[in-house]
Amino acid sequence: MLFNSWEYLFLFLVTTILYFNISLKYRTFLLLISSYIFYISWRLDFALLMLAVTMVNFFGGIKINASRSKKSKKYWLALTIFLSLIPLIYFKYFNFLIENINFIIPFFDNNLQLPYIEIILPVGISFFTFQALSYSLDVYYGKTNVEYNFINFSGFVAFFPQLVAGPIERSSNLLSQFRNKHLFLKENFLIGAKLFIWGLFKKVVIADRLAIYVNNIYDNPELFNSATLAVATMFFAFQIYCDFSGYSDMAIGSAKILGFNLRQNFNLPYLANSIGDFWKRWHISLSSWFGDYLYIPLGGNRVRYYRWVINIFLVFLLSGFWHGASWTFIIWGSLHAFYYLVESWGDKFLNLIDFNFIKRYWGYKVFKILTVFVLVCFAWVFFRANSITDAFFIIDEILSFKKGDLYIGSSAVTFILSIFLIFLLLIVQIMQYLKIASMYFYKSKAPASIQFLWYLLICVAISTLSVSSNAFIYFQF
Amino acid sequence: MALKKILKFKIINTFTIVISFIVSFFILDLGVNSFLRKGLKKYYGIEDNSEIALIGHSHIMLGLDKESMEKKLNIKVAKYTSEGVDILNRKVMIDYLLEKNDSIRLLIYGVDAWSFSGEGLSANSQVLFYPFLDNVNIDHYLRECVPFKDYLTRKIIKTTRYNEGLISSSFRGYLRNWDNMKSGTVNLKKVKEQIAKNKYRKINNNPLYIETLTQTIETLSLNKIEIILFYIPTLHLINQVENKKFKKNIDIFEQIESDYDNVKFINFTDAYSHRYELFYDPIHLNSVGQKVVTDSLIKILQKNYYNDIGI
């Protein structure tokens, strides 16, 4: 069930109407039922898997909380993490492991080749596993109270607006909201509806359109020249942003109508002026997850320098691996770690030569925003390429600056429209940056009539220009 | 009580906003649909009482210059072509055109060696009929061949009937612009690479397509319309990949020509398929190619159809 489907609209409408008209004690149960209907629409057995992860963390949390010694707490936490990660490792990483073992075996003069298993990755498994784990970790660190109500906890893990592609919520934010009574508020409805419409526009009008060109080029990179590959990479940067942030906006908007506040997941990442800044703006819920549960427990920056470098690499590397079971994702994560370190060295160098005044000039800021964008695009090549060989080929081709006509795809209109939509997105983002247009829950400065007209046009653009055949990219993560 | 009153007022207020938004949306939807459909009809020449109609997919779309034909033949030409329309779709197009236009006397029907191959053309070319969903016959056709959910969506929200190709055609209809804007020349090296990698469209004849073409010809014959099965040249490199099948299908068109008095098969393959400079890609002509082929066709029409349709 996709957000841009009649089925979702129907489920959401029925859930919303019932939610605000039934007794408080049945509300979470209603949301749980809707969430499982939403998830079962993909596959029934995957819902059982989600239920298993929910139960492991529910009872794990109780056991961690009940343990008196630190050793016992640690034991229960380790067991909870281990059991929660088994499905994720099996479904997402098993074949990757086999692939690598098969690659290594011949070096030991052995012809044995392990067979691959046929697996379909359960939708959103990385998201609900990490969300459930965040609860157990928070209980361990004493950041949240243990939950004894299984319905509330299941509702937290399976909450349908953000179930399959985030934002990855924390128990301290979302779980407590299941205990509160939510009223139907005009403000919530309007903010939620606006977010949903804008998210839908980004997904079905921009991202899906750009995907046509990008898929065409990245599936046969050897057929295209430098300029075409560079344009496809830039298109992919906007495609993945619109796809993922569009989905997050729709999730946050749906939840807002029901009275729930989900975390902001994207904050104009392509206007970031450093790699560190980019990661504070891109997939914020995942970055902060790795920050809170991996980087800080490893010692963060309060360790020796070489350990800090290792910590940084570990966090980015695992972040890459979380996105997909392939070396391309690992390289993508490592590249960002490398950027991060180089940037910190650059800052230190500017301090050393007393050249910090340059940071005040707007030209330097623009230069940094553009540099960050180019570096991020460079890393996206690994993220999108079908193999490492393809990724290196694409980079080699782009950097060779070979001359040739730019391939504009099967339709010039689609290409021109794609560029127009990217410009439109950039203008809106700049207006959001300047707080003229609304973003997340912030109010717009524009008059109500202009907003009414803007969202009306966006709706007509969605109905006229949507490309509805592509599935959400992030579903497979 | 006060809180309840405030909430009730706010809910009514929200309800008013939502209703006015939905009503405004449907009014705008109706207006945009009406505007776009009118432009499309102009582009296809559906209601302009043309005497010649060009029917086909992108080969004909890029291969024949309607304006040049109108100018040199001094006759109105409707160019009802869309990307990826197969023989089944074209039957619907012709039926629709004949319903709207009873002055057609000559129909130029695009054919090629892949005409009877269903696969590899377009998975869902029927979507090109969505703008004309209000027509009973097209409504009936689409209800049978598209998923009900898709059909219903297009029925309720009219702007969902368009894609950028159709929107572009609509605007071109208003601008009266039928130009072939493909200016590049085919990259022979790339074509050879693709053939070597087995990345080319295969010729696989589907009997249903052959039968449908025959039915289409029968319908046109009943309406006393002259027919030209017109082979817009395709690149020699592509033609020879499956040479035997290619020749077999040419034989089928020649056989149809001999079976019907009102059918003529014009094949420009031998004349132009080696002239690479005329092609944008292996199967489509560029603007230069379009001019060359159109001029040649015009000469044939002037020579052979003077008595029949008064050219």
SS (H, E, C) chain B: CHHHHHHHHHHHHHHHHHHHHHHHHHHHHHHHHHHHHHHHHHHHCCCCCCCEEEEECHHHHHHCCHHHHHHHHCCCEEEEECCCCCHHHHHHHHHHHHHHCCCCCEEEEEECCCCCCCCCCCCCHHHHHHHHCCCHHHHHHHHHHCCHHHHHHHHHCHHHHCCHHHHHHHHHHHHCCCCCCCCCCCCHHHHHHHHHCCCCCCCCCCHHHHHHHHHHHHHHHHCCCEEEEEECCCCHHHHCCCHHHHHHHHHHHHHHHHHCCCEEEEECHHHHCCCHHHEEECCEECHHHHHHHHHHHHHHHHHHCHHHHCC
Find the mean pLDDT for residues A105-123: 81
Judge: B11–A186 Cβ closer than 8 Å, yes or no: yes
Could you please report the per-residue DSSP string of A156-201? HHH-GGGTTT-----TTTTGGGGGSPPP--HHHHHHHHHHHHHHHI
Give the pLDDT of residue A68.
87
Find the mean pLDDT for residues B174-186: 83
Q: Considering CB atoms only, which of A186, A222, A412 is closest to B13?
A: A186
CA-based nearest distance A210→chain B, Å:
13
**Residues of chain A whose C-beta is under 8 A from some C-beta in B?**
6, 183-186, 189-190, 222-223, 405, 411-414, 417, 452, 455-456, 459-460, 463-467
Between B253 and B179, the higher pLDDT residue: B253
Query: pLDDT (tens digit, 9 = 90+) per residue, A341-370?
Result: 998 888 777 777 777 677 777 788 888 899
Find the mean pLDDT for residues A434-456: 82
Give the pLDDT of residue B1.
53
Judge: A452–B21 Cβ closer than 8 Å, yes or no: yes
Chain B CB contacts of A190 below 8 Å: 14, 17
Nearest CA in chain A to B29: A460
Q: How far apart are CA A199 and CA A191, in angstroms?
A: 12
* Nearest one of A471, A425, A454, A378 to A197, comparing CA atoms: A454
Say if residues B133 and B155 touch (Cβ distance below 8 Å).
yes
CA-based nearest distance B67→chain A, Å:
22
Give the pLDDT of residue B121.
63
Q: Considering CB atoms only, which of B160, B193, B194 is closest to A463?
A: B160
Residue A341: in which H helix or E strand, if any?
A: helix A327-352
Residue A45: in which H helix or E strand, if any?
A: helix A44-66
CA-based nearest distance B59→chain A, Å:
14
Burial (CB count within 10 angstroms: exposed 0-12, middle 13-18, buried 19+), residue B205: middle
- The answer for A149, left when phi > 0, alpha when psi is -120 to 50, beta otherwise, is beta
Judge: B13–A183 Cβ closer than 8 Å, yes or no: no
Say if residues B252 and B246 touch (Cβ distance below 8 Å).
no
Judge: B153–A412 Cβ closer than 8 Å, yes or no: no
Chain B CB contacts of A188 below 8 Å: none
Q: Which domains does chain B have, with CATH numbers?
A: 2-175+183-309 (3.40.50.1110)
CA-based nearest distance A24→chain B, Å:
17
Give the pLDDT of residue A476.
41
| Confidence grade of residue B123 (pLDDT, cut at 50, 70, 90) | low
Say if residues A170 and A127 touch (Cβ distance below 8 Å).
no
Nearest CA in chain B to A191: B14
CA angle A235, A263, A15 (to 5 degrees): 100
Judge: A460–B168 Cβ closer than 8 Å, yes or no: no
Interface test with B, best of A196, A212, A406, A413 (most B CBs within 10 A): A413
Find the mean pLDDT for residues A47-75: 93
Is A323 in the active site?
Answer: yes
ipTM of the complex: 0.75
Give the pLDDT of residue A16.
93
pLDDT for A475 beyond 50: no
Judge: B25–A459 Cβ closer than 8 Å, yes or no: yes
Q: How far apart are CA A413 and CA A416, in angstroms?
A: 5
